[in-house]
Each structure stands twice: as C-alpha cells, then as structure tokens.
Structure 1
Amino acid sequence: MAQAAASKVVLVTGASSGIGAEVARQFVERGHTVYGTSRRPDAVTRPVPGVHYVRLDNADYQSAIECAAKVGVIDILINNAGESQAGALEDTPMEAIENLFATNVFGPVALTKAVLPGMRERRSGTVVMVGSMLSSFPVAFRSNYAATKSALKAFALATRREVAPYGIRMISVEPGTIATGIGDRRSIHIGDASPYRAEYETLAAATRKNEDAGIDAPTMAGVIVDAALLEHPKPFYAKGNQAGIVFALRRLAPRQLVLDLTARKHGLPRVRI
C-alpha cells in the first residue's frame, strides 16, 4: 500500500523513552514534524534530536486538551504512553486499578477526543492505539494491565468505522515482548505473605527472561510508523512473540489450550479445573 509522501505533524505520547522515543526518532528521520509528550518535558534526560517536547499527564484529562491546543494541527497521533502493572488481583488496591485505567485508557481516549475535531474538519488523520499482545493472550498476574490494553483495542476497532467517513484512520497495534527495560518501571502488587506469591515469583522470573530476549524497540517502532503512514492501513497489527503463528493458533485452537500455552510461556504449569 502506498504511503503518504507529504510531511506530517505527528504527536507521540510517552516519547521520552522506550518505544515512544524510537517512534519519534523514526518519524523525524522520515522528514516529519514531531512532538513528543512527557509529564515533565524539561526533565527529559535523553531527548530525541528534532522532537519538540510538550507536557502531557495521561491521568490528567485537562492536560490532554492543553497538549492538543499547544501543538495545533495534528495529522498523526500515536497513543503510546502508559504504565505497566503486575501482581495478584486480590492484593491490588482498587485505587491502583483505577489509576491504571486512567493512565492507560481514559488518558489516551481524552487525547483522541481532543484531536478528532481538527482531523474531522480537515477530513484527514490517523490515530494509533499502542496496546499489548497480553490483550489477545492474557496471563495470570497481569489481569489489570491486559484489561486496559483490551479496552484500548476495542476503542480503536469500534471507533474506526465511526470516524472513517471523515477520512480518519484508527489503528490498533499490539507489541509482543519487547526489550525496553519496562520491567524496571512496572508497578507490583503482591503481599509478602500472599498465598499467590510463589506463583507470582515464577511468572516474574519468566517475564524477565522473556523481556530480555524480546524484540528491540526500533523493530517495533518501525511497524507502528509504517502503519501510521499508510493511506489505507489495516485495523490491527501485531509484532513479536511469533505473532503470525500464535494468532493463527488463537483462531483455530480451543480457548483453554491457548490460555494454558500462554501460562506455560510465562512459567506457570497447567491447572485443570
């Protein structure tokens, strides 16, 4: 499919590190005007050359309105910023779950709402929701995080038809395990005496191993950038964790088998119930 040749104005959330920083870098390298968000733009330790940093706090919906207004015309929005969380559901306070949804779901939705009027009036625009393959392949001790990413995917796929008559493209992208060091920034909720602690530690060790061997940020960022620049992008893209094979398996195999295999990938044995 052909890519749009003209220079675009791109807003990338969470552009201070990880996938977001690499997405911003690749857009700059392709000649586009790029704005990247951070909760503290002045404190970004390794700014990407050519990126204009603006303030955005995903959990502060007013900041989404202010961010969109400051940037002005936005041709492409990459909703990438978010928080990673793990732990036992029983040990996780409701406040932590609510905060996770505010950061991972409601914030991106608020920013999308802020940019849609301009895109609709210009009859052109692209919004990419960066989720996680844990949405399609949920695993124990990641329930809240997987739920937020599932919500993002549903927003993107449902809204795709809603905004399509106005020339706006909505895309959902699911990265697999990525070696970006996100595990060091993940919030953990597991009690010292939790009955779930032993299995959680098993999963945590397997997760660290999987992330160390995951795909690199430039590869994943390339998928996002390529999709965002297509004139007619697909609704959904996935990369990593042998995506082509595992999504085919998901369509053909019984759901319980897929859940069992996902658990095994994360170090957990099958439990028959």
Structure 2
Amino acid sequence: MSWAPGNGGSRVTGAKAPLAVVSGATSGIGAATARALATSFRVIGTTRDPATVTDPIPGVDYVALDLGDPVSIRRCAEEILCRGVPEVVINNAGESQSGPFEELPRDAIERLFQVNVIGHVDLTQRLLPAMRQAGRGRIVMVGSMLGSFPLAYRSSYVASKAAIKGFALAARRELKPFNIGVSVVEPGAIATGLSARRTKYVDKRGPYAREFDRMLTKLDANERNGISAERVAREIVKPVQAKWPKPHYACGSLAGVAFPLSRLVPLQVMLDVIARKHDL
C-alpha cells in the first residue's frame, strides 16, 4: 500500500513511491529530513548547485534551486512536476541574519525576505495546483522559535520567520478542503554550524556594537549546545505522518515550557526572559 497521510509512512520503493521535496537538503536540518524521508519516499532535495554534492544521501535526487532567483524557482518547480506530483513539501532552506535594527541595510533585508519567505511561497504556489488536483499532501514550513519569541539584534530574521508562519497558518484553512495539511515547525537552538554562516551587519564603532557582540557570543554558545538536526527532522516528520497534522510543532530551547508559559505571563516578561538568555 502506498503512503498516504496518516498511515505512518509505509515503506514503498521504486517508481510507485510517493514524492517528497526538501529544500536545502545538503546540510543541517534539510539533510537530516531528506534522510529520514528517503526510507518511504522518492525525495527531491534542492541545492544551489547539484554538481557540488559530494556525499549524496541514498534515495535523494538533487535539483538546482536558488531561492533568491525567481527564474531558478520556476525551473525547479518545473523539474519537480516533470518527475511527479509532490505529496510532501518541506520548505527548509534559508539565511540566518543578525544586526541592529537601525543598521540593517535595505538590500540585506530584501534578500533575506526573498530567500526566507517569498522564495518558499513562490515554489509552493507553483506546486500547489497539481497537489490540489491530486487531493492530498503535506506542506511544512520550517520556521524558528524566534518567530514566536523575538530577540534583539535578530529583527530581520525574526520578522522573516514570523512571516512564513503567517503564510502557512492562513493557507492552512484554504487548503484543508483539498486534504492538504499545512504546518509550521519551530526549532529552538540547533547545533548545525549555522552560526559560522550567519550574515552580520553592524558598525563595529557604533552605539550597538558592544551589546551586539555580547548577544552574538551567547547565541553562538546556545547553538553549539542546541539540539541536533536529526531531532528537528523527527519533529518535521510528525505532521507528514499525522492523519490530522497540528498547525504548530516546536522542539528545543525548552519549547515545552516556553509556549505554555507565554500564554500565562505578559509579553514583556517573555521578551525579558529571551533577552536574559542571550546576555542582554
């Protein structure tokens, strides 16, 4: 029996296996998720340049995708649909960005939103007609707990993750009649080496430099001690396998405490807790 939402992802191999798409599938959360899904799906993993993949995951085919380039997004969607109708779409790839609100360059903010938000929306929109006609599917937007608990000096990143969450939860009701579930997964601090690739914008002689550096040092330490990409992948698989996926999933950074607490205390209390956790 082929996979269908709710059957737990029965293993199926070959051409009859359902199709899953995972963006950013060559490292971190994306690679861990592609590996987890490859036991039950034909997986298309996206990467900027498939020719540079040196350690491919068995069962994963790589397709070029640059989320910053609308032409690349269109071509990627066309390539995916040539191979079949996706039953699972995991929107994971993205950029991490830090900097004082006052000093963030406009072009950096625009690039971040294109990569973290608009690119994912564009790709998903191009895949949805076929998924809707097939009458089933799962879409997972990989956000961040910072989308729910904003942190100083991460305003652009926070806003991008809040935006992708908003798109997903609004679209959830629209797609429900077509048996397409939409969920958001918000991980906390993750030990994936992301801190080394984070883009930073700050005037080293400006008024925010000292506090920014202090926050960044603590943020990097929290991420080094964070949960594994494999732990996040297990959370991502939950709405894929669920018969009735929840709108929101979270893991890491005491998510099981933070979200219930946020419903009991004033918002400023939560903002202060997040700030103190990052040495602010």
User: Per the shorter chain, which TM-score range?
Assistant: over 0.9
Residue 3 (structure 2) aligns with? none
SS class of match (1:46)? coil
Matched, 1:134 2:146: yes
Residue 261 (structure 2) aligns with? 249
- Find the partner of 2:29 among 16, 19, 26: 19
Residue 71 (structure 1) aligns with? 80
TM-superposed deviation, 1:65: 2.3
Structure 1, unaligned runs of 5 or more? 269-273
Residue 169 (structure 1) aligns with? 181
SS class of match (1:211)? helix
Measured against aligned partners, the alpha-carbon deviations of 1:23-71 in whole angstroms (never above 9, x if no partner) come to 001111x221101001111112332222100011111123222212212
Matched, 1:223 2:235: yes
Query: Do the aligned residues in 1 keep the contact of 2:9 with 2:40 (CA within 8 Å)?
Result: no
TM-superposed deviation, 1:109: 0.2
Give me the whole-angstrom Cα distance separating, in 1, the residues matched to 2:243 and 2:75. 29
Runs of at least 4 residues of structure 1 off by over 6 A? Answer: none
Give me the whole-angstrom Cα distance separating, in 2, the residues matched to 1:172 and 1:253. 23
Matched, 1:58 2:63: no
For normalisation by structure 1, the TM-score amounts to 0.95
Give me the whole-angstrom Cα distance separating, in 1, the residues matched to 2:142 and 2:47. 16
> What residue identity is the alignment partner of 1:58?
L
Structure 2, unaligned runs of 5 or more? 1-5
Give me the whole-angstrom Cα distance separating, in 2, the residues matched to 1:163 and 1:62. 26
SS class of match (1:96)? helix
Measured against aligned partners, the alpha-carbon deviations of 1:152-192 in whole angstroms (never above 9, x if no partner) come to 00000000001111111111110110000000000000112
Query: Do the aligned residues in 2 keep the contact of 1:35 with 1:71 (CA within 8 Å)?
Result: yes
TM-superposed deviation, 1:193: 0.9
Measured against aligned partners, the alpha-carbon deviations of 1:77-99 in whole angstroms (never above 9, x if no partner) come to 00000000001121211010000
Give me the whole-angstrom Cα distance separating, in 2, the residues matched to 1:154 and 1:18. 24
Give me the whole-angstrom Cα distance separating, in 2, the residues matched to 1:168 and 1:70. 21
TM-superposed deviation, 1:4: 4.6
Residue 8 (structure 2) aligns with? 3
TM-superposed deviation, 1:2: 4.8
Query: Do the aligned residues in 2 keep the contact of 1:13 with 1:38 (CA within 8 Å)?
Result: yes
Give me the whole-angstrom Cα distance separating, in 1, the residues matched to 2:55 and 2:153. 32
Matched, 1:120 2:132: yes
